[in-house]
Each structure stands twice: as structure tokens, then as C-alpha cells.
């Protein structure tokens, strides 16, 4: 059994202290999948300190056609294709990034970002933050749960 990234989720996020969420949508030219206005009381009881505008993927598993573990990141980059070239037009108080979280069935969590995905990230002009959640079970524990 190959050990690799099995699933993941990805988000394109814009955070802003002053720029209204509607202005972010106008500049980027696409609708967000979620927004959190500054001052919102979160489930944790904390108050949201900045405006958050985002496009989120659902959690996506590998497919027969794509075993790289980057299905969610691929989906996000395709959804954000219209944003390319628009990020620099955002006001100076806006911070942008992509978050990609992946789940590995390995204790090492290695992965490959294909060149075409890196080119799409570069075209957006944003940083990519990645977290890989590793499987720390032993082979015997994995087999017992299979």
C-alpha cells in the first residue's frame, strides 16, 4: 500500500482591517464562498479582529485520475483563475494567501507540487501555506482499522 497524501482542503484568503468585504469582491471579480466581518463573535467567543474574505474548497479525496493528493488545491486554483492579475489591485491593508491542508496515510507526509500548480500559485502572486497531517499509527494499527 502506497503511503501518500490522501485528501485535503484549500482556501484562498484575503484579510483586511479596513477594506469592506464588498470592495474585495469588486476588485477580485469573483464571489467568495465565505466572509467573516470584523467584529463578529466567533463560536470560540473570540471577536474577529479583521475582515476575512475567502474561497474554500470542500475536503476532497484523491481520484483515480489524480493520486497526487492535490485535488483540493487544484480545484481552488481553477476557481481562482479569474483573480490572476487582480491581487495587486487590492488596497494596501489587504493580505492574501492560500492555505492547503492535506492528510497523509504516512508518518512522513511527503508530497509533490506539480510545476503547473506552482505556476498557477505564482500567477496569483500569493504565498502558499501548507500543513500535512501525518498518520502516526503503526502498520498493525492501520491494518486493524482497515
Q: What is the pLDDT of residues 30-67, one digit of tens each?
A: 999 999 999 999 999 999 999 999 999 988 776 666 66
Neighbours of 59 (CB within 10 A): 13
d(CA 36, CA 49): 10
Q: Is the pLDDT of residue 138 over 70?
A: no
Q: What is the pTM of this model?
A: 0.82
Lowest average pLDDT, out of 22-36, 56-70, 132-146, goes to 132-146
* Cell triple for 108: 512522513
Q: What pLDDT does residue 60 have?
A: 73
User: How many helices (H) does the chain have, and how many strands (E)?
Assistant: 4, 6
The residue-averaged pLDDT of 24-35 equals: 97
d(CA 105, CA 5): 7
Q: What pLDDT does residue 1 have?
A: 46
Which residue, chain included where needed, has cell 483573480? 83
* pLDDT tens digits, 82-130: 999 999 999 999 999 999 888 777 766 667 788 999 999 999 999 999 8
Give the 3-state secondary structure of residue 12.
Answer: strand
Label residue 131 exposed, middle or buried (CB < 10 Å: 0-12, 13-18, 19+). Answer: exposed
d(CA 141, CA 139): 5
- Rounded (5°) CA angle 143-132-98: 145
Amino acid at each position: 500500500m502506497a503511503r501518500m497524501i490522501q485528501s485535503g482542503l484549500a482556501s484562498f484568503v484575503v484579510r483586511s482591517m479596513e477594506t469592506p468585504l464588498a470592495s474585495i469582491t469588486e476588485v477580485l471579480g469573483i464571489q467568495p464562498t465565505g466572509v467573516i466581518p470584523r467584529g463578529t463573535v466567533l463560536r470560540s467567543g473570540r471577536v474577529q479582529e479583521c475582515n476575512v474574505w475567502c474561497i474554500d474548497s470542500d475536503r476532497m479525496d484523491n481520484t483515480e485520475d489524480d493520486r497526487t493528493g492535490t485535488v483540493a488545491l487544484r480545484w481552488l486554483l481553477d476557481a481562482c483563475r479569474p483573480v490572476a492579475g487582480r491581487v495587486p489591485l487590492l488596497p494596501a491593508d489587504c493580505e492574501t494567501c492560500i492555505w492547503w491542508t492535506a492528510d497523509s496515510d504516512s508518518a512522513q507526509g511527503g508530497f509533490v507540487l506539480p510545476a503547473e500548480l506552482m505556476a498557477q500559485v505564482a500567477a496569483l502572486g500569493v504565498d502558499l501555506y501548507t500543513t500535512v497531517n501525518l498518520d502516526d499509527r503503526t502498520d498493525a494499527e492501520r491494518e486493524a482499522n482497515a
